[in-house]
A and B are shown apart, each in its own frame.
Chain A
């Protein structure tokens, strides 16, 4: 199984800050990397797929990058609605696996 490791586990930031979350895979996963946002009591929401493709309706302040085993999610200017937990996910035809999550909290 491919293991996904996110860092940091928690990040404290303020409205307007630029935030970057990192996700590392235990082996190369090509471009099959997605990012999800989850708010308390809600199902996750797809933000980015194929490393850097923005899901329809997701604000352009969200961006993804990376290749091979190291990937990043960047929020360019934090908005109040962005405080949530973020998960990376490796996916393919046969399985998927999630990172452990990064909680983005208000400083």
Chain B
């Protein structure tokens, strides 16, 4: 069974760093892209970027370029989303999702809620 299991909810202060994770199982982790999608409270879905764990090739949305870092450790089938300095406006639900090649996303993680507040 394909599963993407994300790390738990986080509460952080502005300026703090954070790395959230997404562990894939039940499929060939290195053969699918893993993307990250932001959903701010009461708002729509925004693609942030994707990584191909097979060779760490990364695609970033211009809207999020320089704001976050996407990485993966294929040895433990886990992808990451990292902030070096959080802002209150980073408060959102973050989903990881997989897709094959140029196909659409077919599996999603359960989401990680990040709250940034002083």
Spell out A's residues near B (CB within 8 Å): 1, 32, 34, 36, 38, 43-46, 49, 55, 87, 89, 91-101
Contacts and interface: CB of A to CB of B under 8 A. Distances in A.
B14 to A, nearest CB: 26
A92 B102 contact: yes
Contacts of B108: 43-45
A91 B104 CA distance: 6
Interface stretch (B24-32, B44-52, B66-74, B84-92): B44-52
B44 A87 contact: yes
Nearest to A87: B45
B44 A94 contact: no
B80 interface: no
Interface centre among B45, B61, B95, B101 (most CB of A within 10 A): B45
Question: In which size bucket is the chain B interface?
Answer: 20 to 34
B49 to A, nearest CB: 9
A93 B102 contact: yes
Nearest to B46: A98
> Interface residues of B: mostly helix, strand, loop or mixed?
loop
A38 B44 CA distance: 10
B1 interface: no
14 contacts: A34-B104, A43-B110, A49-B103, A49-B104, A91-B105, A94-B59, A95-B59, A95-B61, A96-B47, A96-B105, A98-B46, A100-B44, A101-B44, A101-B45
A97 to B, nearest CB: 6
Nearest to B49: A95
Nearest to B62: A1
A55 B103 CA distance: 12
Report the 6 A-B pairs with minimum CB-CB distance, sorted nearest first.
A43-B108, A34-B104, A93-B102, A101-B44, A98-B45, A91-B104
A24 B95 CA distance: 25
B45 A44 contact: yes
B42 to A, nearest CB: 10
Contacts of A34: 104-105
Contacts of B104: 32, 34, 46, 49, 89, 91, 96
